Structure 1
Amino acid sequence: MDQIQAMRIYVRVVEAGTFTRAADSLSLPKATVTKHVQALEERLRVKLLNRTTRRVTVTADGAAYYERTVRLLTDLDDIEASMTNARSNPRGRLRVDVGTGVARLLIIPNLAQFHARYPDIQVDLGVSDRVVDLIGDNVDCVIRGGELSDQSLVARRIGNLEFITVASPGYLERHGAPQHPIDIERRHNSVIYFSPQSGRHYPLEFRKGEESIDITGPYLVSVNESNAYLSAALAGLGVAQITTFQATPYLDDGSLVQLLPEWSQPLLPVYVVYPPNRHLSAKVRAFVDWAAELFQRDPHLQRTAAPSTVPGRLMLAA
C-alpha cells in the first residue's frame, strides 16, 4: 500500500463525507477508495470511520488522525514545491467554480491568456449560480459575490459589482417608463431573481440619500440564473436590475434602456474564496492572482461605495 496515497484518500473521504463523492472527486473507483481506507485502518489498528449506507462519520481516533494528516500532507506539498520549479512553473489540475455571468463574460473569454501564461495547469471550470461546498466538492477556489456567510473561508476581495435598473424598449412601449420605484410596484412587472439554494426572492433595491425602497413584485417570471435573468429582461418580461458589467453592450445597441438613474443600488462585493485547510499551492495562487488582474482591468468591476448588506445575493459571481 502506498501510505501517502492512502492518507490523501482518507482526507478526501473525511472532507467529502461519503466514499462515493470522494471517489468521484479523485477520479478513482469507489472500491479502490474503500480498499485504501480499510488498509489504512488495518495498518494503524484503529477504526477511523463509522460507516452508514448514506455517509461516513469520523471516530475520535479518526478525527485526530485527520488533523495530523492534513498538516503532514501540507508540509509535504511545501517541501516538494520548494525543491522544484513549481512556484515559477505551476502545474497540475485546478478545480474552480464561478457564477454563470462571470464565466461567460470574463473568465472563459480570457482563459486562453491564462493558459498561455501557465500552460501546465489544467482548469476544471464549474459554472453555476449555486454556491458549492468547497471542501465537500473538492473545489480549490471559487469566485463568489455577496457578503460571505461562512467566516471560516479565506477570501480575497477582488472587485465590486454595480447594478442599474433596465427594461427593453418593447416593454416600455407597452407599459411606459416608471418615474419612481413605487410605479414599478403599482403599474409594472419585475423580473425577479431567486436563490438557487433557499428559493428566496430578492427584491429590486433603490437607494437615494437616506430613502430606501425594496420592490418584490408583481412579476411574470423569476429565475435563479444570471444569464436567464438577462434574457428575461431582453425579452421584455419586466423591469430588471443587472450589473453595468452585463448591461453595457445592450445599452449601447439599444436592446435595453436604463431607468431611474437618480436611484442607485447597493454594490455587491466579489471575492476569490478558498478553504482554510487547503494548502495555497502555486497553481491556486496563480489563478487567484490572475482573476484579481482581470477584475482590476475593468472599471465596471471596481466601483467604490458602501457594499450591499444583503447576504448571498449571487447575480453574477456565485
Structure 2
Amino acid sequence: MDKLRAMQVFVRIVEANSFTKAAETLGLPRAALTATIKNLEAYLGTMLLQRTTRRLALTPDGADYHAQCVQILDAVAASEQAFRGATAAPRGTLRIDLPDALGRHVILPDIAGFAKAWPELALTLSFSDRLVDLTQEGIDCALRVGALQDSSLVGRQVGSMRFVTCAAPAYLALHGTPRSIDDLRSHQGIVHFSGRTGRPFDWDFIVDGAVVKAQVPGRIAVNNADANVACALQGLGITQAACYQVRGHLERGELVELLADTPPAPMPVSLLYPRGRMAAPKLRVFAEWITALLARDPGLAPLTTERTGARP
C-alpha cells in the first residue's frame, strides 16, 4: 500500500465529506477510494470513518489520524517546494471561484494571458457571490472582497477595492446635488443587499481619517453589483459602486461623482485557500498573477487602510 497516497485519499474524503465528491476531484473511481480506505483501516487496525447512507463521520481514532495526516502532507508539500519551487511548472487543474462582477469585468479580460503563460495548467472558473466551501466542493482558491470569516482558510490580501458615490445627471437634475453626507437623508439611494444574508451593505465615508456610516433611504433594492450600477444609470437613485465598474460611465458623463472629499472606505480583496496549499505551483503562480493584475488598476491596487464589511 502506498501510505502517502492513502493519506491523501483519506484527507480528501474528509474534506469533501463524500466518497463520490472526493473521487471526482481526484479523478479516480469511487470504488478505488473505498478500497484504499478499507486497506488503510485494516493496516492501522482501527476504523477511521463511520459510514451511513447520508453522511460520513470521523471516529475518535479517525479524527486523530486526520490531524496527523494533514500535518504530514503539509510538511511533504513544503519540503518538495523548497527543492522544486523555482523550477516546478504548474500542471493539472486549478479550480477558482470568483466574485461575479469582479470576475467578469477584471479577471476574464486578462485570463487568456495567464492561460498562455502556463499551457500545462487547466482552469475551471466559477462565478458566484455565495459562501463556497472550498474543501467540500474541491475548489483550490476563491477571490473575495471584504472581511474574512472562515478561520479554517488562509487569506492572502492581493488588492484593495475602492468605491465611489455617484448618480446619473438625470437624477441630479430632478433632486439636486447633495453637498454633504447629511444631505443624503433627503435623497434616494440604490439599496445594494447581500445575496447571502439579505442585509443591505453599509453606506460609509472617510471623514478626517475615520469611517462614518450614513443612512440613505431607498425604494429600489438589488443584490447584484451590475444591477446596482444599471439602476443608477437609469436615474433611480444615488449609489456607491466599485471604481472599476463605473470608471467608464464617469468619464463619459453618464454618472457624476458625489462627495469626492469624503470617499467610501476601501475593502480588502483576498485570495482564500486551504492551509498548506500555497506550496502547490499552480496556486502560487495564480496568486502572483492576480496580485500583479489588480496592482495595475488604480481602483484595485493594495492600500493599507480597509473597512471590513464584505461585498461581492
Q: TM-score range by the shorter chain?
A: 0.7 to 0.9
Q: Is the deviation greater in 104-113 or in 253-262?
A: 253-262
In structure 2, C-alpha distance between the alignment counterparts of 1:9 and 1:45, rounded to whole Å: 18
8 Å contact kept, 1:191–1:239: yes
In structure 2, C-alpha distance between the alignment counterparts of 1:60 and 1:153, rounded to whole Å: 23
TM, length-normalised to structure 1: 0.85
Shift in alpha-carbon separation, 1:262–1:72, aligned structure 2, 3 A: closer
Q: Secondary structure at the match of 2:134?
A: coil
TM, length-normalised to structure 2: 0.86
8 Å contact kept, 1:81–1:87: no
Percent identity, aligned pairs only?
35
Query: Quick one: which of 300, 309, 314 aligns to 2:311?
Result: 314
Shift in alpha-carbon separation, 1:171–1:19, aligned structure 2, 3 A: farther
Q: Does 1:134 align with 2:146?
A: no
Q: Is the deviation greater in 130-139 or in 38-47?
A: 38-47
Query: How many residues align structurally?
Result: 311
Measured after TM superposition, the shift of residue 285 of structure 1 is 0.5
Measured after TM superposition, the shift of residue 201 of structure 1 is 1.3
8 Å contact kept, 1:74–1:279: no
Q: Deviations over 1:202-226 (max 9, x none)?
A: 1222332268242253232231x32
Q: RMSD of aligned C-alpha atoms?
A: 2.8
Which residue is 2:65 aligned to?
65
Q: Secondary structure at the match of 1:95?
A: strand
Which residue is 1:294 aligned to?
293
Measured after TM superposition, the shift of residue 241 of structure 1 is 0.4
8 Å contact kept, 1:87–1:282: no
Q: Deviations over 1:6-50 (max 9, x none)?
A: 433321121122334434434555555444433433443321112
In structure 1, C-alpha distance between the alignment counterparts of 2:142 and 2:257, rounded to whole Å: 31
Q: Does 1:121 align with 2:118?
A: no
Q: Deviations over 1:84-138 (max 9, x none)?
A: 7983422111111221222112211111111221111111112112232222322
8 Å contact kept, 2:77–2:279: no
Unaligned runs of 5+ in 1: none
Shift in alpha-carbon separation, 1:218–1:35, aligned structure 2, 3 A: same
Shift in alpha-carbon separation, 1:24–1:268, aligned structure 2, 3 A: same
Unaligned runs of 5+ in 2: none
Which residue is 2:47 aligned to?
47
Which residue is 1:246 aligned to?
245
Q: Deviations over 1:170-211 (max 9, x none)?
A: 3334433333333333332x2122223222211222332268
In structure 2, C-alpha distance between the alignment counterparts of 1:38 and 1:211, rounded to whole Å: 57
Q: How does 1:1-318 map to 2 (within 5 A)?
A: 4-28=4-28, 30=30, 32-77=32-77, 87-188=87-188, 190-209=189-208, 212-223=212-223, 225-278=224-277, 280-302=279-301, 304=303, 306-308=305-307, 310-311=308-309, 313-315=310-312
8 Å contact kept, 1:167–1:236: yes
In structure 2, C-alpha distance between the alignment counterparts of 1:30 and 1:174, rounded to whole Å: 64
Measured after TM superposition, the shift of residue 2 of structure 1 is 6.2
Q: Is the deviation greater in 267-276 or in 286-295?
A: 267-276
Q: Secondary structure at the match of 2:237?
A: coil
